[in-house]
Chain A
Amino acid sequence: MELIVENLSKRFGEKLILDHLSFSMHSGDFMALVGSSGSGKSTILRLIAGLDQPSSGSITVDGTPVSGPGPDRGMVFQKYSLYPWLNAAENVAFGMRLQRMKAAQIKERTAYFLEVVGLSDAATKLPRELSGGMQQRVAIARALATNPSILLLDEPFGALDLQIRESMQDFLLKLWQRTGLTVLLITHDVEEALVLAQRVHVLAPNPGRIIRSLDIDLDKTNLDQLRLSSAFLSMRRSLSATMRELEPALCLVKPC
Chain B
Amino acid sequence: MTATAAAASKGRSTGLLSLFTLGAMPSKAVRGGLQVASLLVPLLLWTTIASLGLVDEKFLPSPQAVFRSLASMAESGILFQDIVASTGRVFGGFLLATLLAVPIGICMGVYPAICALCEPLIAMLRYMPAAAFIPLLIIYLGIGEEPKIALIFLGTIYFNILMVMDAVKFVPIELIETTLTLGGRSRQVLVQVVARYSLPSIIDTLRINIATSWNLVVVAELVAAEVGLGKRIQLAQRFFRTDQIFAELIVLGLIGFAIDMGFRLLLRQSCKWAV
Contact = CB atoms under 8 A, between A and B. Distances in A.
Interface of A: 49-51, 68-71, 73-75, 77, 79-81, 83-85, 94-95, 98-99, 126, 128, 139, 142-143, 146, 152
A95 B182 contact: yes
Contacts of B178: 75, 77, 81, 139
B274 A98 contact: no
B197 A69 contact: no
Contacts of B177: 49, 51, 69, 75, 77
B183 A70 contact: yes
Given A77-B174, A80-B175, A128-B273, A85 B181 contact: no
Which of B178, B184, B192, B197 is packed against the most chain A CB atoms within 10 Å? B178
Given A85-B197, A85-B271, A128-B273, A75 B172 contact: no
A74 B181 contact: yes
B197 A84 contact: yes
Given A70-B183, A85-B271, 4 more contacts: A69-B180, A77-B174, A98-B183, A142-B182
A69 B181 contact: yes
Contact of A84 (B181, B185, B188, B273): B273
Given A75-B177, A85-B196, A80 B172 contact: yes
Given A80-B174, A85-B196, A51 B181 contact: yes
A136 B260 CA distance: 38
Interface of B: 172, 174-175, 177-185, 188, 192-193, 196-197, 271, 273-274
A146 B183 contact: yes
B273 A126 contact: yes
B-side binding surface: helix, strand, loop or mixed?
helix
Contacts of A51: 177, 180-181
Contact of B188 (A98, A126, A143): A98
A143 B273 contact: no
17 contacts: A49-B177, A51-B180, A68-B180, A71-B182, A75-B181, A77-B174, A81-B175, A81-B178, A83-B193, A84-B274, A85-B271, A85-B273, A98-B183, A98-B184, A98-B188, A128-B273, A152-B181
A-side binding surface: helix, strand, loop or mixed?
loop
Contacts of B175: 80-81, 83
A98 B174 contact: no
A95 B185 CA distance: 11
A142 B174 CA distance: 14
Contacts of B180: 51, 68-69
A186 B196 CA distance: 30
Nearest to B196: A85
A50 B184 CA distance: 13
A73 B182 CA distance: 8
Contacts of B182: 71, 74, 94-95, 98, 142-143, 146
A151 to B, nearest CB: 11
A71 B180 CA distance: 8
B262 to A, nearest CB: 21
A232 to B, nearest CB: 33
A207 B37 CA distance: 66
Contacts of B183: 70-71, 95, 98-99, 146
Contacts of A80: 172, 174-175
A161 to B, nearest CB: 21
A166 B151 CA distance: 62
A175 to B, nearest CB: 19
A53 to B, nearest CB: 14
Contacts of A68: 180
Contacts of A49: 177, 181
Contacts of A98: 179, 182-185, 188, 192
B197 A71 contact: no
Contacts of A94: 179, 182
Nearest to B200: A85
A77 B177 CA distance: 9
